[in-house]
Amino acid sequence: MANTISTIPFKGTAEQAALLDKVIAEQKGKAGCLIPVLQKAQEIYGYLPVEVEEKIAEGLDVSLEKIYEVVTFYAQFALNPKGKYNVSVCLGTACYVKGSGKVFDKLKEVLGIDEGGCTSDGIFSLETCRCVGACGLAPVMMINDDVYGRLVPNDVAGILEKYKN
Amino acid sequence: MDMINVIIDGKEYSVRKGATILEACRSVGIHIPTLCYLKDINEIGACRICVVEVKGAKSLVAACVYPIDRDGTEILTHSPEVLKSRKLTLQLLLSTHDKKCLSCVKSGQCEFQQLCKEYGVDDENKFEGIAVKYEKDTSMPHLIRDNNKCVLCRRCVAACDKNQGVAVIGANERGFITHIGSAFELKLNEVACIACGQCITVCPTGALTEVDDTQKVWDALNDPSKHVVVHAAPSIRATLGEEFGLPIGTLVTGKMVAALRRLGFEKVFDTNFTADLTIMEEANELLERIKNGGTLPMITSCSPGWVKFCEHYYPDLIPNLSTCKSPQQMMGAVIKTYYAEKMGLDPKDMFVVSVMPCTAKKFEIGRDDQAAAGVPDTDVSITTRELARMIKRAGIDFNRLPDEEFDSPMGLGSGAGTIFGATGGVMEAALRTAVATLTGKNPEKLEFEGVRGTQGIKEASYNVAGVDVKVAVASGTANAKKLLDMVKSGEKDYTFIEIMGCPGGCVNGGGQPFQPASVRNFVDLKALRAAALYKDDENLPVRLSHENEDIKTIYREYFGTPGSEKAHHALHTSYVARKKLNVNK
Amino acid sequence: MKSLAEIAEIRNTMKDKVSPAEGSNTMRIVVGMATCGIAAGARPVLETLVSEIEAKGLSAAVSVKQTGCIGICQFEPVVEIYQGGKEKVTYVKMTPDKAKRVVEEHVVGGKPIAEFTLQEGEAVNEKPVSLTETRFYRNQKRVALRNCGVINPEDIDEYIATDGYAALAKVLNEMTPEEVISTVLASGLRGRGGAGFPTGKKWELARTLVQDGGQKYVCCNADEGDPGAFMDRSVLEGDPHAILEAMAIAGYAIGASQGYIYVRAEYPTAVYRLNIAIDQARKYGLLGKNIFGTNFDFDIELRLGAGAFVCGEETALMTSIEGKRGEPRPRPPFPAVKGLFGRPTILNNVETYANIPQIILKGADWFASMGTEKSKGTKVFALGGKINHTGLVEIPMGTPLREIIEEIGGGIPGGKKFKAAQTGGPSGGCIPASLTDTPIDYDNLIAIGSMMGSGGLIVMDEDNCMVDIAKFFLQFTVDESCGKCTPCRVGTKRLYEILEKITSGKGELSDIDKLEELCMYIKQNALCGLGQTAPNPVLSTLRYFKDEYIAHIVDKKCPAGVCKDLLTYKIIADKCKGCTKCKRNCPVGAISGEVKQPHVIDPDKCIKCGVCMSNCSFGAIVKE
């Protein structure tokens, strides 16, 4: 299994680090403070990349794995940031038989990311979903709330272009 | 002790109040199977193998964690319901298990396999369905993790966290895809694993095994251009017998030497010799530090798991580590320098095999600054388990071997050397020699009881020639952590500290024979094995390192004095601070 | 910090504002602002009401307040107008425009607008309707929900006005901890979170088993995770102080000075209001040191759940508060001996606590007079699914299911036939039509293979496939299993896989035996209550709807027409006009046919998405 360190370069700022330091200082030593710290950290950074978890591990003096096992237990915590635009490809049956798998592969290629990933500029993240109820338009993908249907792989680049500015 | 009456399988017994059902049953001769349970460190009731019926309970209960505090409790340990449940649990576990038992190194010693046999699992494929496929982790020189054989008992996690205070492995994700792994699914060489192998010794299946280096040894033995020598660590003689059905704590020094010789090694040396050499160098180093205002407390460096732990977790204490190489590496260095010279051999044509109780030794041989003769001091380090495997493969009937003696010139070891295998042993050996050095005469009583015993942390203070020497001993790196934090905070102050990476010291090392939980939970493995070493010490003619004739010879013929330049070059080493995360982000 | 007298003073001055007395010339307008109300658009309605009243210079006599859940979800946004001596008027499906007219005609003109009020049935009422008169409401009995939809949850004074904190005052000044416990015991109150353990017993154990003078904890389970259940959210959003007061009472009873509320992060409104309530209570000295000048200290900390259903299980919840993976621990030791941070702890759910202040004030006998022999008081249900009136209802224990469905719920929409009701969420079961006369209480529900659970009640009609429902719940359990014990981690997955096999038409009769074997095994062997009850949806559907399983396995048919793999779409040649619309819209090209000729569907290519059927203007396509 490949590691789950986000491929998006970490862009934490000094302000964010100072905020997290403050949270850690407030919570350190309080019984059961790990989850509240993780929740605040995710509020600050939007997700919990290795850089943030390392900082918490250091600050609270617990092993990184003890943080990671908590992070992966709870659905609320994310290891990857979501992009400004979240691209979600329907892999429901209708879309799949109409080639949404190929559209998905093309998206991965164009964006250079895998499922659950986010581009390094933070603009696009990529997900798959089950049926969005638009089988007549299959294959379908959604970019935030916009639905694109009857796709062929070559449409992908052009559609993404519209969001780049 | 409060006793209460219970009815187990229809018969009335008197058992200790508050005992778990598992303990109570054991005390009256009824065995209940377990899988996840490890006394004190993993009492989680997760696997459900140990379920029994308790009258009045609405479901079956886990015997390992269910305390009996009510008089008249009625327990059924093998009712049809119980037996059926245990069998189903095994079958469910099998549905996610890689069932390649024939080629599994753990076959025959696998607790899971044993249970399947006991419970008559007649269909290993009763439940078919998705099983997650995991990649093996082969990134470390000492261990292979194959999660396809993992039953998620979490014994390894408990050992890593509770005993070792390292916690580089844990349960990741949840539900059906829960698996044991490291943070961010990194490989073990990318996190701060100390290679102690404690996880391996507690794994009930073949999910965690040492890297088997025996083929390298066979190859060397069959290579006519190599001069292949072997040496065996102090604790091997106290544990190897277990692999051949002998009771825990049986001393098998002579048979071990005989077996090694029959495997074809040119020379069979005794690591006790370099344990003594370590004492000479370390005692000298300590006295020098005291005299010259060097960094104190000085901490021992024989245990490579502890050394790696120090480098990852307490890099600021590296100056406190003794610069002495471990006995394994001293032996390699001595063989490839002193012995090579003596025999007229080119170190490049020599092949040094060490038999160690330890998996971290496999890591140690690849460290920097461990090549006295310009080639690695040690070529291959194998564990007690691997040696047993070689003996069995060679068809040697171990129990019928005669007792034989180690070879010269590194075949003599003192009683002080032999107790290196137990926690406190290095300290005791050093104290014996330190007293002699400082007072000019050997201590009247050689036993330093204050540093003996299997407790995790021991402290003692001795007045030696008018000087108060405060010492501490810790085993298991979780205890080391506790001790060092007290030292760092200034709460405690010592001159000399002995730390061994594994709880109880090398007798309980990561490379020692497997003992199933059914044994571990009910006997003190550490104490039984250590007792054999203390007995060995008692019976040996020489019990002080500085009185070992071979030691005297080597200083006379080669090194001159402890701490000489030559000794420094061959017998001392250096350390590096290591990061907790070794990965490119 | 307020004294007893000051609290009483607040109560007196606020009373008339919250419920205007006869002859009073004040008017009170409340807007339902629970999550569902806000989502339906209550905020602009509230804002319009406030600005209109201000613009008309009526602010002195007319108060406009937000309130919690009024209970009638499908009519949100809801506005109610209270006037002294008059029946309240309930306006439903409000908009800002309607709100303007209400101010104009009702508030100013004194003439309620009947057509905006709640209408039941076909005929439009001439007379304005109050919620209290409706079939939906009149059989309800509001104890836990008494303040929801009545007071402003963000104003402690309004809570005090409705006897808030009077129970805490009474307990601290007039009762010993033992008396509090015996009152709760005598009331017969049982835990509203699922299993129904007697609350007083729980408190008694926590008080008596360990008496070492060390810390004890009072926890509130607000991690309501059952799909379709929102009772606790409504109480937290509508009456947060009731929970704080009850927890303080519990703290006094067991000897604890610290409380934790474990609430889902997915309930932001509840979290927001709880935080406000805790702040206000601290300011008034109703939380903190020396409450009411006594030597009793008690404070509360909020902990947010992080998205794990299993944390609703008591030991998992405590492990989660401790900052770890929310995995359950074996019991014994029970939390009353060794709970949070290894100390004696009680955990009750929100609804349980909501009953406590009332029991203290009105007495155990009053509470015990409601309900059945072994299940006292009332129970709140979140009524949903195939039912006309979805919403939140509180009824006395022992009310037959039929009454909830037909009277309060107003029956099944579209003239469909009732098939089953599901209670207890993923731990519960399905109750068939033949058992709708069963009076609902803890023991009856267990006896018929379901359980009370926290109070989700989902109604299903003939279009629901019971095998599919079982599969739905198992999917949920598999997703939410913590992964610690073998029976739940692997067992539920295998259970799910067998159900999937059956619904995809590959089932064999022996699979039923396998299902039963696995279900019984998981029930007996799983580590925690959630694991042990996970098979209930399968067991109860097997018990009452085995014929549906058989139909899937033997006939390879899904009688309800839900399981896609067992459906075939067909074109009835006689009805097909050959318009080609279905052919053009089929995503997989499974339909062929010439213009004006009957078309056919190729079953091998058809993916059963149903697009053709919804596109056919002639009703020529059927699924069977």
Structure tokens at B9: 């399988």
Contact list in C for residue B130 (CB cut-off 8 A) is 493, 497
- Find chain C residues with C-beta within 8 A of A138's C-beta: 587
Task: Give the confidence band of B415 by pLDDT, cuts at 50, 70, 90.
Answer: very high
pLDDT tens digits, B522-564? 999 999 999 999 999 999 999 999 999 999 999 999 999 999 9
Mean pLDDT on B353-369: 98
The pLDDT tens digits of the residues spanning C265-277 come to 888 899 999 999 9
pLDDT at B288 over 60: yes
3-state secondary structure of B428: helix
DSSP code of residue B256? H
Residue A93 has pLDDT above 70, yes or no: no
Look at C390 and B217; give whichever has higher pLDDT: B217
Question: What residues does each domain of chain A span?
Answer: 14-73, 85-164
Helix, strand, or coil (residue A125): strand
Counting every residue written for chain B, the total comes to: 585
Please report residues of A whose CB lies closer than 8 A to that of C307: 74-77
Q: Is the pLDDT of residue B1 over 80?
A: no
Q: Does A60 touch chain C (CB under 8 A)?
A: no
What does the pLDDT read at residue C2?
A: 82
Per-residue pLDDT averaged across C111-131, rounded? 77
User: Residue B52: in which H helix or E strand, if any?
Assistant: strand B51-54
Whether C349 and C549 have beta carbons less than 8 Å apart is answered as no
Domains identified in chain C and CATH numbers: 15-138 (3.40.30.10), 164-368 (3.40.50.11540), 378-461 (3.10.20.600), 466-555 (1.20.1440.230), 568-623 (3.30.70.20)
Place of tokens 């109560």: C11
∠ at Cα B93 (B97, C451), nearest 5°? 145
Interface membership of C307 toward A (CB under 8 Å): yes
Question: For chain A, how big is the Rg over CA atoms in Å?
Answer: 19
Tell whether A73 lies on the interface with B, counting CB pairs under 8 A: yes
| pLDDT reading at B430 higher than 90 | yes
pLDDT, tens digit (0-9, with 9 covering 90-100), for C345-366: 999 999 999 999 999 999 999 9
- ipTM over 0.90? The verdict is yes
How far is the C-alpha of B275 from the C-alpha of B279, rounded, in Å? 6
- Both tokens of B204, joined, read 């009930």
Structure tokens at C480: 């939410």
Tell me, yes or no, if the pTM score tops 0.90.
Answer: yes
Report how far residue B416's alpha carbon sits from residue B424's, in angstroms, rounded to the nearest whole number. Answer: 11
Q: What percent of chain A has pLDDT over 70?
A: 93
Peptide bond into C344 cis (omega under 30): no
Please state, for a pLDDT cut of 90, what percent of chain C lies above it: 76
Q: Do B47 and C523 touch (CB under 8 A)?
A: no
- The residues, any chain, with a CB within 8 Å of residue C19's CB and separated by 6 or more, are C28, C82, C150, C162
Separation of alpha carbons A93 and B562, rounded Å: 77
* Confidence class for position C263, pLDDT limits 50, 70, 90: very high
A94 touching chain C per CB within 8 A:
yes
Instruction: Kindly state the average pLDDT of the residues A31-53.
Output: 96
For the structural domain made of B3-78, what CATH number should be given?
3.10.20.740
d(CA A27, CA C485): 32
pLDDT tens digits for range C54-87: 999 999 899 999 999 888 877 889 999 999 888 8
Q: State how far the Cα of B87 lies from the Cα of B49, in Å rounded to an integer.
A: 8
pLDDT at C524: 97
pLDDT at C122 over 60: no
- Identity of the residue in A10, A54, A63 whose CB atom sits nearest the CB atom of B167: A63
Q: Which two tokens stand for residue A57?
A: 């591990």
C493 touches chain B (CB under 8 A): yes
Show the CA angle centred on residue C474, arms to residues C469 and C477, nearest 5°. 135
C526: nearest CA partner in chain B: B48
What local confidence, expressed as pLDDT, does residue A122 receive?
A: 84
Q: What is the per-residue pLDDT across C458-517, written as a single tens digit (0 to 9) for each?
A: 899 998 999 999 998 998 899 899 999 999 999 999 999 999 999 999 999 999 999 999
Distance (Å) of CA C133 to CA A42, B76, C151: 48, 59, 20
pLDDT at C42 over 60: yes
What strands, in cross-sheet order, belong to the sheet with B467-475?
Answer: B298-299, B496-500, B467-475, B457-464
Band (pLDDT 50/70/90 cuts) for residue A132 is low
Mutate to test the interface with C, among A24, A27, A74, A137 (most CBs of C within 10 A): A74
Tell me whether residues C324 and A34 touch, CB distance under 8 A.
yes
The C-alpha angle C167, C173, C175, rounded to 5 degrees, equals 75
- Does C283 contact chain A (CB < 8 Å)? no
Reported as a single tens digit per residue, the pLDDT across C514-536 is 999 999 999 999 999 999 999 99
Please, which pLDDT band fits residue C195 given cuts at 50, 70 and 90? confident
Which pLDDT score, from 0 to 100, does residue A131 have? 67
- Find the closest chain A residue to C614 by CA distance: A136
Whether residue C494 lies within 8 A of chain B, CB to CB, comes out as yes
In the predicted model, what is the mean pLDDT of chain A?
89
Residue C132 confidence (pLDDT): 83
DSSP per position, C497-529: HHHHHHHTT---HHHHHHHHHHHHHHHHH-SSH
Are the Cβ atoms of B167 and A3 closer than 8 angstroms? no
What would the CATH number be for the domain defined by B214-571?
3.40.50.1780
User: How is domain B91-210 classified at the architecture level of CATH?
Assistant: 2-Layer Sandwich (3.30)
pLDDT at B22: 98
Interchain CB contact of B134 with A (< 8 Å): yes
Secondary structure string (H, E, C) spanning C211-259: CCCCCCEEEEEECCCCCCCCHHHHHHHHCHHHHHHHHHHHHHHHCCCEE
**Average pLDDT, rounded, for chain C:** 93
Contacts (Cβ under 8 Å, ≥6 apart) of C113:
C91, C98, C101, C102, C105, C106, C128
Domain with CATH 3.30.70.20 in chain B: 91-210
**Could you give the CA distance from residue B471 to residue C611 in angstroms, rounded to a whole number?**
82
| B310-324 pLDDT per residue, tens | 999 999 999 999 999
- Encode pLDDT of B34-71 as tens digits: 999 999 999 999 999 999 999 999 999 999 999 999 99
What tens digit of pLDDT does each residue of C489-501 get? Answer: 999 999 999 999 9
d(CA C520, nearest CA chain B) in Å = 10
- What pLDDT does C624 receive? 81
Which residues partner with B496 through β-bridges? Answer: B298, B471
Q: Is the pLDDT of residue A83 over 90?
A: no
- State residue C588's pLDDT score: 86
Q: What is the mean pLDDT of residues B179-198?
A: 98
Q: Do A3 and B185 touch (CB under 8 A)?
A: yes
Burial B36-46 (b: 16+ CB within 10 A, else e): bbbeebbbbbb
Give the pLDDT mean for B15-22.
96
What pLDDT, on a 0 to 100 scale, did the predictor assign at position A133?
64
The neighbour count for residue C570, using CB atoms within 10 Å, is: 15
Nearest CA in chain A to B133: A1
Band of pLDDT at residue C242, cut at 50, 70 and 90? very high
Q: Check CB contact of A50 with chain B, cutoff 8 Å.
A: yes
List strand residue ranges (DSSP E) for C248-377, in order: 258-264, 299-305, 345-349
Q: Which of C432, C451, C301, C303 is nearest to C375 (CA)?
A: C451
C429 strand-pairing partners: C423
For residue B297, whether the previous peptide bond is cis, meaning omega lies within 30 degrees of 0, is yes
Q: Report yes or no: B28 and B77 within 8 Å, Cβ to Cβ.
A: no
Residues of chain B with CATH 3.40.50.1780: 214-571
Task: Tell me, yes or no, if C517 comes closer than 8 A to chain B by beta carbon.
Answer: yes
Closest CA to B382 of B517, B279, B273, B243: B243
B190:A3 CB<8 A: yes
- For residue C123, name the pLDDT band (cuts at 50, 70, 90): low
Nearest Cα neighbor of C420 from C465, C462, C469, C460 is C460
Sign of the four-CA dihedral B443, B449, B450, B451:
positive
Cβ-based neighbour number of residue C434 at 10 Å: 10
Angle C547-C551-C552 from CA coordinates, rounded to 5°:
120
Inter-chain CB proximity B81 and C490 less than 8 Å: no
Average pLDDT over residues B434-446: 92
Provide the pLDDT for residue C121: 58
Summarize pLDDT for B95-133 with one digit per residue, the tens. 999 999 999 999 999 999 999 999 999 999 999 899 999
| Of residues A56 and C15, more confidently modeled | A56
CA A60 from chain centre, in angstroms, equals 25
Contact B423, B448 (CB under 8 A): no
Q: Which CATH number among 3.20.20.140, 3.40.30.10, 3.40.640.10, 1.10.3720.10 corresponds to the domain A85-164?
A: 3.40.30.10
Chain B interface test: which of A6, A50, A64 (most B C-beta within 10 Å): A64
